[in-house]
């Protein structure tokens, strides 16, 4: 843990006995030194000062009040976590397992803040990875045969890649265990894993930490606290005492340095360079990301390690640059950092230099223009690995003060609408009226049913319609429009949307799913063509009054089908080669016998059990030179769409009994001669031309389940 060690039990009791005014969690109130943040947080909603600034100031000011509760929620799951850690080879200390900290955007950087601490505390490999990287490259990031624990960090848990990363990790590392740390217990990620008690735990941090502005504030630091707590899973009381000291340090920053940081932000700053190392590098990177976000990219920001900056061009810091140093307290790192700061001071680099850290020997004070001095609590400094939640407050304050200085609205700073985030379940963005920010327009939109709206008889079905929205999965085999179409159809067939219900508009569907209006329109057009829906000019789209029946057989995609059964899909590519069309294949695809086809053989698995042997034939002229790497586990429809712009419009399928041959038996994990069902499917493009021939050999002992997957 490094050189700092505190008598935490003594410190905790002193906080509880503290005099006077304090916020929950031991954070001192700001008395007599009221700053801009306090004024914004206390302003009435009708006050012009607060327009577009309602949520972000409060998120910053009150975040530390929730840290102790967040740590307690993790501690409450001690027994379950110990079980999962043991299953994943994380415990006992130094086991063979590996920990993956997965997040998207800012929550990925929350993982960076924690990976060093967990590596030290648990004695295993720990990697912080972006969910976007996992979705597209999990096979190269996870090691097959090595037990893994995946810790997913999420504010809303509604981004498609959050769920997609789970699926990708399951495919790449079968048997992986999961811990979800989220601010939203109703999000798609939490719902996906909450029922999987055998291999997953979902921990919802204190709900008020779910930020309502664009920037991550309380959600970021509370997710860091929850993640840090995993390193103390065997002795949570020790960490809870640390958290009390962290909350006291947060009070030092908020009470003593608001005005200093306001004055820094009022300067003519065009660039900011944040420097940190270890967990504080995560703080630097999130501070830079937040600065650009809160200033609508008017202030360029970058993050680097102290040692990394030594090898960067000197022009990275010019006379419009604010340099922020998150200075370590532990050697040898601190020695190298002080050398660089001294060099900058000697050369007069930057417009302004600001340091954050301990300075008992007054080493920093003479080298920088301003110092956010952290004072040791109860005899010693916080270990550097535990400082990220505290130091992050400095980055947040600089960001919001710079945003206000530029005349922006921190809750939604982008005037062009280029910066957005899935903020909280049920938010529906509406056009802002004159003088109104996008965030205020969103806040005044009608809440979803079940979140404060009382639906009366005429619009009850419409309120249920607004509750459609589980996120689509961009990594799933099926095209987005088909996923949306199925979700809409499920609502209708289940009776949840009865006849004559007006469904959400294309714009609303596009916004709630995070897809384009063109994709939403394609999904609705299909259902209108099948007479499931009807359009009424000027009034909207309605469920038809007759019993909707799809126009022909329809099948769930393999991945969705498996997920619906509570299992986990995986695809193994066996071979991909060029072959000559047999007479039977030529007839099915309407090509000449002997024409070159691309033959792809794959095994489809459900929770690591082979279920289907898939053999696909594609005309080589449509996919010339198609490689195994291009195929992987992608659906054939996507390959055709990407390679030649052809969308499969409909299928024709036949089913017949079959016996499994010796080679097929080895791939399916059954004995030769076992009964199976052979499904032969021909896919046709919009012009009626055959573009795909697929033969699906389904294990006989899984045939009934397979038939349940189709309708």
Calpha distance 70→209 (Å, rounded): 9
Residue partners of 196: CB distance under 8 A and separation at least 6: 178
Q: Angle at which helices 506-513 and 517-529 pack, to 10 degrees?
A: 120
* pLDDT for residue 38 is more than 80: no
Confidence of residue 211 (pLDDT cuts 50, 70, 90): low
pLDDT tens for each residue of 695-711: 999 988 776 544 444 33
Q: Point out which residues pair with 304 in neighbouring strands.
A: 275
Mean pLDDT of 176-200: 89
704 backbone dihedrals φ, ψ, rounded to 5°: -65, -40
pLDDT tens for each residue of 125-151: 999 999 989 988 888 899 888 999 999
Calpha distance 55→213 (Å, rounded): 6
Token output for 81? 């976590």
* pLDDT for residue 408 is more than 80: yes
Buried b (16+ CB within 10 A) or exposed e, 346-383: eeebbbbbbbbbbbeeebbeebbebbbbbeebbebbbb
Buried b (16+ CB within 10 A) or exposed e, 292-323: bbbbbeebbbbbbbbeebeeeeeeebeebbbb
Token output for 517? 């209006």
According to DSSP, the β-strands at 148-154 and 177-182 are parallel
State what percent of residues in the chain have pLDDT above 90: 37
CB 693 within 8 A of CB 588: yes
Mean pLDDT of 294-315: 84
CB 381 within 8 A of CB 358: yes
According to DSSP, the β-strands at 200-204 and 177-182 are parallel
Residue 53: per-residue pLDDT: 66
* pLDDT for residue 9 is more than 90: no
Cα dist from 218 to 43, 183, 208, 213, whole Å = 19, 10, 8, 11
Residue partners of 139: CB distance under 8 A and separation at least 6: 171, 172
- Which of the 8 DSSP states describes residue 609? E
Residue partners of 667: CB distance under 8 A and separation at least 6: 574, 603, 610, 613
Calpha distance 525→540 (Å, rounded): 13
Residue 474: per-residue pLDDT: 59
Nearest alpha-carbon partner for 191 in 159, 219, 157: 157
Calpha distance 321→285 (Å, rounded): 16
Residue 564: per-residue pLDDT: 52
Token output for 282? 């995560």
Of 463 and 221, more confident: 221
Residue 289, classed as helix, strand or coil, is: helix
Calpha distance 63→220 (Å, rounded): 9
Largest CA distance in the chain: 90
Alpha helices in 123-159 (DSSP H): 131-141
Residue 590: per-residue pLDDT: 85
pLDDT tens for each residue of 82-113: 999 999 999 888 889 999 999 988 899 999 99
409 backbone dihedrals φ, ψ, rounded to 5°: -105, 105
Q: Angle at CA 280, nearest 5°, toward 276 and 281?
A: 55
Cα dist from 567 to 196, 570, 601, 616, 705, whole Å = 10, 10, 22, 24, 12
* pLDDT for residue 165 is more than 70: yes
Alpha helices in 604-689 (DSSP H): 628-631, 636-644, 662-668
Confidence of residue 313 (pLDDT cuts 50, 70, 90): low
* pLDDT for residue 483 is more than 50: yes
Residue 21: per-residue pLDDT: 34
Cβ-count burial of 400 within 10 angstroms (0-12 exposed, 13-18 middle, 19+ buried)?
Answer: buried
Best-predicted range by mean pLDDT among 13-17, 56-60, 109-113?
A: 109-113
Confidence of residue 567 (pLDDT cuts 50, 70, 90): low
CB 152 within 8 A of CB 123: no
CB 692 within 8 A of CB 616: yes
Residue 672, classed as helix, strand or coil, is: coil
Residue 616: per-residue pLDDT: 94
pLDDT tens for each residue of 618-636: 999 888 888 877 787 778 8
Q: Angle at which helices 236-256 and 218-230 pack, to 10 degrees?
A: 150
Total number of residues shown for the chain: 711
Calpha distance 330→357 (Å, rounded): 11
CB 568 within 8 A of CB 606: yes
Token output for 400? 């919001």
Lowest mean pLDDT among 15-19, 70-74, 162-166, 458-462: 15-19
Residue 250: per-residue pLDDT: 94
Residue 694: per-residue pLDDT: 93
pLDDT tens for each residue of 526-564: 777 666 788 887 788 888 754 433 333 444 456 556 655
* pLDDT for residue 32 is more than 70: no
Calpha distance 605→559 (Å, rounded): 10
103, containing H or E segment? strand 98-103
Residue partners of 674: CB distance under 8 A and separation at least 6: 659, 660, 665, 668, 699, 700, 701
Cα dist from 130 to 136, 138, 204, 305, 420, whole Å = 10, 10, 20, 19, 18
Confidence of residue 432 (pLDDT cuts 50, 70, 90): very low
Cα dist from 418 to 199, 214, 413, whole Å = 38, 12, 10
Token output for 606? 């459900």
Mean pLDDT of 670-694: 85
Token output for 116? 């060093």
Nearest alpha-carbon partner for 274 in 265, 266, 283, 264: 283
Residue 554, classed as helix, strand or coil, is: coil
Nearest alpha-carbon partner for 267 in 355, 369, 357: 369
CB 56 within 8 A of CB 408: no
How many CB atoms neighbour CB 220 within 10 A? 32
CB 650 within 8 A of CB 626: no
Mean pLDDT of 469-483: 61
Best-predicted range by mean pLDDT among 356-370, 392-406, 636-650?
A: 392-406
* pLDDT for residue 351 is more than 90: yes
For the chain, the average pLDDT equals 78
Residue 471: per-residue pLDDT: 52
Confidence of residue 438 (pLDDT cuts 50, 70, 90): very low
Residue 161: per-residue pLDDT: 80
Cβ-defined contacts of 510-514 (< 8 Å, 24+): 511/428, 511/429, 512/428, 512/468, 512/469, 513/469, 513/471, 513/472, 513/480, 513/484, 514/160, 514/422, 514/471, 514/472
Sign of torsion, CA 218 224 226 229? negative
């Amino acid at each position: 843990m490094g050189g700092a060690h505190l008598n935490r039990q003594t410190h905790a009791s002193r906080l509880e006995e503290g005099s006077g005014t304090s916020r929950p969690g031991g954070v001192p109130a700001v008395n007599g030194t009221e700053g801009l943040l306090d004024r914004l947080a206390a302003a009435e909603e009708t006050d012009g000062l607060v327009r577009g600034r309602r949520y972000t100031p409060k998120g910053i000011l009150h975040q530390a009040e929730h840290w102790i509760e967040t740590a307690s929620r993790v501690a409450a799951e001690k027994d379950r976590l110990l079980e999962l850690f043991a299953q994943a080879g994380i415990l006992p200390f130094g086991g063979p397992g590996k920990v993956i900290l997965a997040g998207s955007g800012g929550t990925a950087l929350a993982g960076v803040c924690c990976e060093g601490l967990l590596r030290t505390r648990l004695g295993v490999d720990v990697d912080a990875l972006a969910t976007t990287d996992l979705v597209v490259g999990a096979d190269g990031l996870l090691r097959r045969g090595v037990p893994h624990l995946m810790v997913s960090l999420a504010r809303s848990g509604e981004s498609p890649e959050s769920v997609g990363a789970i699926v990708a990790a399951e495919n790449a590392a079968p048997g992986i265990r999961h811990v979800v740390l989220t601010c939203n217990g109703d999000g798609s990620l939490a719902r996906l894993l909450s029922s999987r008690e055998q291999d997953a735990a979902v921990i919802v941090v204190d709900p008020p930490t779910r930020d309502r502005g664009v920037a991550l504030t309380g959600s970021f630091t509370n997710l860091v606290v929850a993640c840090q707590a995993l390193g103390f899973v065997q002795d949570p009381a020790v960490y809870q005492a640390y958290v009390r000291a962290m909350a006291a340090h947060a009070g030092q920053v908020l009470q003593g340095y608001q005005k200093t940081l306001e004055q820094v932000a009022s300067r003519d700053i065009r660039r900011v360079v944040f420097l940190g190392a270890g967990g504080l590098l995560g703080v630097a990177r999130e501070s830079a990301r937040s600065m650009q976000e809160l200033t609508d990219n008017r202030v360029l920001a970058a993050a680097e390690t102290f040692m990394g900056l030594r090898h960067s061009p000197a022009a990275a810091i010019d006379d419009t640059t604010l340099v922020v140093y998150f200075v370590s307290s532990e050697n040898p790192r601190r020695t190298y950092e002080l050398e660089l700061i001294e060099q900058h001071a000697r050369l007069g680099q930057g417009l302004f230099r600001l340091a954050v850290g301990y300075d008992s020997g007054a080493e920093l004070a003479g080298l920088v223009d301003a110092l956010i001095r952290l004072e040791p609590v109860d005899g010693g400094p916080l270990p550097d690995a535990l400082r990220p939640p505290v130091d992050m407050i400095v980055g947040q304050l600089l960001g919001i003060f710079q945003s206000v200085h530029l005349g922006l609205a921190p809750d939604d700073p982008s005037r062009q609408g280029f910066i957005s985030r899935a903020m909280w379940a049920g938010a529906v963005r509406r056009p802002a009226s004159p003088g109104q920010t996008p965030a205020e327009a969103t806040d005044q939109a009608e809440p979803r049913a079940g979140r404060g709206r009382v639906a009366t008889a005429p619009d009850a079905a419409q309120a249920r319609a607004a509750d459609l929205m589980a996120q689509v999965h961009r990594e799933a085999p099926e095209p987005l429009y088909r996923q949306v179409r199925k979700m809409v159809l499920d609502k209708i067939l289940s009776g949840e949307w009865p006849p004559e219900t007006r469904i959400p508009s294309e714009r609303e569907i596009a916004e709630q799913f995070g897809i384009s209006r063109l994709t939403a329109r394609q999904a609705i057009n299909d259902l209108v063509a099948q007479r499931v829906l009807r359009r009424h000019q000027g009034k909207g789209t309605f469920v038809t009054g007759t019993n909707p029946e799809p126009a022909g057989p329809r099948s769930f995609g393999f991945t969705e089908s498996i997920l619906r059964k509570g299992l986990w899909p995986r695809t193994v590519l066996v071979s991909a080669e060029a072959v000559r069309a047999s007479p039977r294949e030529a007839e099915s695809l309407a090509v000449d016998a002997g024409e070159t086809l691309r033959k792809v053989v794959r095994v489809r698995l459900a929770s690591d059990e082979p279920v289907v042997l898939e053999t696909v034939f594609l005309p080589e002229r449509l996919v010339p030179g198609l490689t195994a790497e291009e195929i992987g586990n992608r659906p054939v429809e996507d390959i055709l769409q990407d390679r030649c712009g052809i969308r499969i419009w409909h299928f024709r399928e036949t089913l017949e009994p079959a016996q499994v041959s010796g080679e097929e038996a080895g791939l399916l994990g059954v004995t030769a001669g076992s009964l199976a069902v052979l499904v032969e499917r021909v896919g046709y493009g919009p012009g009626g031309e055959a573009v795909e021939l697929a033969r699906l050999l389904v294990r006989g002992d899984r045939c009934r389940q397979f038939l349940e997957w189709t309708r």
